[in-house]
Chain A
Amino acid sequence: MRRITRIERSVDLLRPRTIASRSSPYLCSACNHQASSFSTSASRSADKKLPFTERIRQKIWGTDQPPGLEDPYGDASVFDQTKKRAAVEKKESAESAAEPALPDDYEPASTWDGLLRVGGYGHWWSENWDPDHQFTGFLPRKRTTDSEVVVAALHRAMVEVFALQQAQKPLSGVSKNISEWDPTDYVQIVPSGNGATLQFSSQASIDDILQSLDPVDETAVKKAPTESEADVAADRSTVDPLNPDMEPEVEDETSVKKAPTESEADVAADRSRVDPLPRGSQKPSNSETAEKEKSTASEKDVDADKTGDDPLSPFFQAKTYAEVIATWDPAWLGVSLENPEVKFAVLKRTMQLTGIRIPDPVIKSANTAQALLRHLIAPPKPRKLAQALVQEQGLNRFPNVKIYGKRRTPVDKERSVGRWKVIEKELKERGLPVFGREELAVRGMPLFGRNR
Chain B
Amino acid sequence: MTVQAIRKATVGQNGVGAFILQCKRLDFHYCDWAGSSKGMNSFLRHSLSKFAAANPQIEITVSPRPRKHPVIVGHYINGREKAICVRNLQKEQILQKAELLRDASGEKLKRVTKPVKSINESVRGVWSPYHGGGIHV
Instruction: Assess whether B66 is in contact with A407, with CB atoms less than 8 Å apart.
Output: yes
Determine whether the beta carbon of B56 is less than 8 Å from that of A385. no
User: Complex formed: what's the CA distance from A408 to B75 in Å?
Assistant: 15
Q: Which of A374-397 contact B (CB under 8 A)?
A: 384-386, 388-389, 392-395
Q: Contact at A405–B64, with CB atoms within 8 Å?
A: yes
A385-B45 contact given A400-B52, A400-B58, A401-B52, CB 8 Å threshold: yes
Cβ–Cβ contact B64 & A395, under 8 A: no
Q: Which residues of A contact B (CB under 8 A)?
A: 384-386, 388-389, 392-395, 398-408
The verdict on B63 contacting chain A, using a C-beta distance below 8 Å, is yes
Q: Which residues of B sit under 8 angstroms from A385, Cβ to Cβ?
A: 30, 32, 41, 44-45, 64
Q: For the complex, is B96 an interface residue (Cβ under 8 Å from A)?
A: no
How long is the Cα–Cα vector from A407 to B62 in the complex, in angstroms?
Answer: 9
Q: Across the interface, do B45 and A388 meet the contact criterion of CB distance under 8 Å?
A: yes
Cβ–Cβ contact A398 & B61, under 8 A: no
How many chain B residues have a CB neighbour from A under 8 Å? 22
In the bound complex, CA of A389 to CA of B62 (Å): 10
- A399 touching B64, Cβ below 8 Å: no
CB–CB B60/A401 < 8 A: yes
A336-B32 Cα distance, complex, nearest whole Å: 41
Given contacts A384-B32, A398-B49, contact A406 B60 (CB under 8 A): no
Contacting residues of chain B (5-48) with chain A, CB-CB under 8 angstroms = 27, 30, 32, 41, 44-45, 48
Given contacts A400-B56, A402-B59, contact A386 B64 (CB under 8 A): yes
Given A385-B30, A388-B45, A395-B48, answer yes or no on A400-B63 (Cβ-Cβ < 8 Å). Answer: no
Which residues from B are CB-within-8-Å of A394? 49
Give Cα A217–Cα B64 distance, bound, in whole angstroms: 59
Take A388-B45, A389-B45 as given contacts and tell me if A398 and B52 are in contact as well, using a CB distance cutoff of 8 Å.
yes
CB of B65 closer than 8 Å to a CB of A = yes
Q: Please report the C-alpha to C-alpha distance between residue A406 and residue B41 in the assembled complex, in whole angstroms.
A: 15
Interface pair B53/A398, CB less than 8 Å apart: yes
Q: List 11 A-B contacts (CB under 8 A).
A: A386-B62, A394-B49, A395-B48, A395-B62, A398-B56, A400-B55, A400-B57, A401-B48, A407-B63, A407-B65, A408-B27
Closest to B48 in A: A395
Q: Does A408 contact B63, Cβ atoms closer than 8 Å? A: yes
Residues of B within 8 A of A (CB): 27, 30, 32, 41, 44-45, 48-49, 52-53, 55-66
CB neighbours of A388 from chain B (8 A): 45
| Contact (Cβ within 8 A) A406 B64 | yes
A388–chain B nearest beta-carbon distance, Å = 7
Q: What chain B residues lie within 8 Å of A405 (beta carbons)?
A: 64
Additional A-B contacts beyond A400-B52, A404-B63, A407-B65 (8; CB < 8 A): A389-B44, A389-B62, A393-B49, A395-B62, A400-B57, A401-B60, A403-B61, A407-B63
- CB neighbours of B64 from chain A (8 A): 384-386, 404-407
Asked if B44 and A402 sit within 8 Å, CB to CB, the answer is no
Complex Cα spacing A405 to B32, Å: 10
Q: Chain B: which residue is nearest A399 at the CB level? A: B56
> Nearest Cβ in chain B — how far from A197, in angstroms?
46
Complex Cα spacing A385 to B28, Å: 12
Give chain B nearest CB distance to A396 CB in angstroms: 10
Which partner residue on chain B sits nearest A388 by CB separation?
Answer: B45
Chain A residues closer than 8 Å to B45, beta-carbon distance = 385, 388-389, 392-393
> A400 contacts B66, CB within 8 Å?
no
CA distance A394 to B32 in the complex (A): 18
A400 with B60: in contact, given A395-B48, A407-B65, A407-B66 (CB under 8 Å)?
A: yes
Least CB distance, B72 to chain A, in whole angstroms: 14
B56-A404 in contact (CB<8A): no
Contact A404 B66 (CB under 8 A): no
Most chain A Cβ neighbours within 10 Å, of B27, B44, B55, B62: B62
Q: Specify which of A395, A399, A407 is in contact with B49 (CB 8 Å cutoff).
A: A395
- Would you call B32 and A402 a contact (CB within 8 A)? no
Given contacts A389-B44, A400-B52, contact A406 B63 (CB under 8 A): yes
Min CB distance, A406 to chain B, in Å? Answer: 7
A402 to B26, CA, bound (A): 11
Q: Which residue of A lies closest to B40 (CB)?
A: A385
- Is A402 touching B56 in the complex (CB atoms < 8 A)? no
In the complex formed, the residue of A with least CB distance to B64 is: A407
Minimum Cβ distance to chain B for residue A92 (Å): 69
Alpha-carbon gap, A392 to B48, bound state (A)? 13
- Report chain A residues within 8 Å CB of B41: 385
- Taking a contact as CB atoms under 8 Å apart, the answer to whether B61 and A404 are in contact is yes
CB distance from B17 to the nearest CB of A (A): 24
B61 and A395 contact, CB distance less than 8 A: no
Which A-B residue pairs are the 3 nearest by beta carbons?
A404-B63, A408-B63, A398-B52
Q: Which of A395, A401, A404 has the most CB of B within 10 A?
A: A401
B52 partner residues in chain A, CB cutoff 8 A: 395, 398, 400-401
How far, in whole Å, are A418 and B62 apart by their CA atoms in the complex?
A: 20
